[in-house]
Chain A
Amino acid sequence: MSIRLQVILLVLLIFILIGMVTQIKRKKLDLKYTLSWFALIIALIVLTCFPKLLIVIADFLGITTPINMIFFCGFCFSLIIIYTLTVAISKMSDNIRSLTQKIALLEKGETDHE
């Protein structure tokens, strides 16, 4: 990796990081669900700064081409992010169900009272 590419990548990643933090600041993103995105960006920053690390890890895992390692890591991170979203959706659908039932029961109580 050339120094130029390293700098470009680093600047890009820092921009993304700043963008995400501003979104959280504006309450458009919930910090709780962005932790895995933070982990991904920080991992990418570390790898951009120390590209040799990539080769060491790939070697350790028995992956011959470091680029495959990138794909593999990207895939794993995506899965983690999707999984946390599934957890969040399950929780939300449960909450929506309880709310719907509460509203229906409250409304019923009101109409019966009249």
Chain B
Amino acid sequence: MKKLIIIPAYNESECIERTIKDIEKHAQGFDYLIVNDCSTDQTREICEKNGFNLINLPINLGIGGAVQTGYQYAWENGYDVAVQIDGDGQHDASFLQRMSETMGEEGADMLIGSRFIEKEGFQSSFLRRVGIIYFTGLIKLMTGATITDPTSGLRMINRSVIEIFAKDYPKDYPEPESVVAVLRNKKQVKEIPVVMRERQGGSSSIGSIRSIYYMIKVTLAILVESLRRYK
């Protein structure tokens, strides 16, 4: 079984080496692909110097476009499983093996690493928790499924979902919206408890001023997604 780790990287020169070392050590049997989203720092040079498996976007596309490129690569190269990991060291690669086993056992099409099942590790700030609880409620309302951590970036998907994402993936703040799209495609979404670290460098893609835009955009996106028809 071919398994791919997708690491979207925008100005992650501080952490990218550590992230890859972590993957090589803890996630045997996984290939990885760094998607350099036209970084303005040394990310590209560092990756090339180390001979990391790298794909360079000629224009900055934002997180959605970068991750989607990874899924397109996974689709074209016949990967059975793809998982997204953030380049900033928030995610622990040692969970990946267990995630792929669980995915097979439970017959899930998408497996989300959730911080809030066992409530261990870095739990995010209070306001973000409130936002996450709100999205959990909204998704429950629209699809009937309970997703405790809809904003989690640590998500493993099988080939049928890779196909969906390679064709269509939200541009920005893609996590909650794409979970709804997967649910609407009548795929099985399961969650697994994971522990996340606080980010080790770089800055979150969601600043304090942008959080209002984030809430409105993602809410609308989920509502519109619920209106779409799927076969």
Give the interface of A toward B (CB within 8 A).
96-97, 100-101, 103-105, 107-108
Hey, which chain A residues are within 8 Å of B69, CB to CB? 101, 104-105
Q: Which residues of B contact A97 (CB under 8 A)?
A: 61, 65, 171
Which B residues are CB-close (under 8 A) to A100? 57-59, 61, 65
- B72 x A101 contact (CB < 8 A): yes
A71 to chain B, nearest CB (A): 31
Q: List 6 A-B contacts (CB under 8 A).
A: A97-B65, A100-B65, A104-B56, A104-B58, A105-B72, A105-B76
The distance from the CB of B130 to the nearest CB of chain A, in whole angstroms, is 32
Q: Is the CB of A105 within 8 A of B58?
A: no
Main secondary structure of the interface of B (DSSP, over half): mixed
Does B55 touch A at the CB level, under 8 Å? yes
B13 located at the interface, meaning its Cβ lies under 8 Å from any Cβ of chain A in the complex:
no
Q: How many residues of B contact A (CB 8 A)?
A: 14
Distance from B53 Cβ to chain A, minimum over Cβ atoms (Å): 9
Shortest distance between the CB of B43 and any CB in chain A (Å): 14
- Main secondary structure, interface of A, reads helix
Complex alpha-carbon distance, A100 and B61, angstroms = 8
Residue of chain B at shortest CB distance from A96: B59
B95 in the interface (beta carbon within 8 A)? no
Instruction: Tell whether B214 is near chain A: CB-to-CB under 8 Å.
Output: no
Bound: A103/B65 CA distance, A: 13
CB nearest to B171 among chain A residues: A97
**Residue numbers in B under 8 Å from A103 (CB-CB):** 58
Are B73 and A105 in contact, with the CB atoms below 8 A? yes
Tell me the residues in window 50-91 of chain B with beta carbons closer than 8 Å to chain A beta carbons. Answer: 55-59, 61, 65, 68-69, 72-73, 76
Contact B59 A107 (CB under 8 A): no
Min distance, Cβ B99 to any Cβ of chain A, angstroms: 26
Q: Which residue of B lies closest to A102 (CB)?
A: B72
CA separation between A101 and B73, bound complex, in Å?
9
What is the CB-to-nearest-CB distance from B164 to chain A, in angstroms, rounded to a whole number?
A: 16
Which residues of B have CB within 8 Å of A105?
A: 55, 69, 72-73, 76
Interface string of B24-63 (1 = CB under 8 A from A): 0000000000010000000000000000000111110100
Q: How far is the CA of A108 from the CA of B74 in the complex (A)?
A: 13
B68 contacts A101, C-beta separation under 8 Å: yes
In the bound complex, do residue A101 and residue B65 qualify as a contact, i.e. CB atoms below 8 Å apart? Answer: yes
B59 contact set on A, CB distance < 8 A: 96, 100
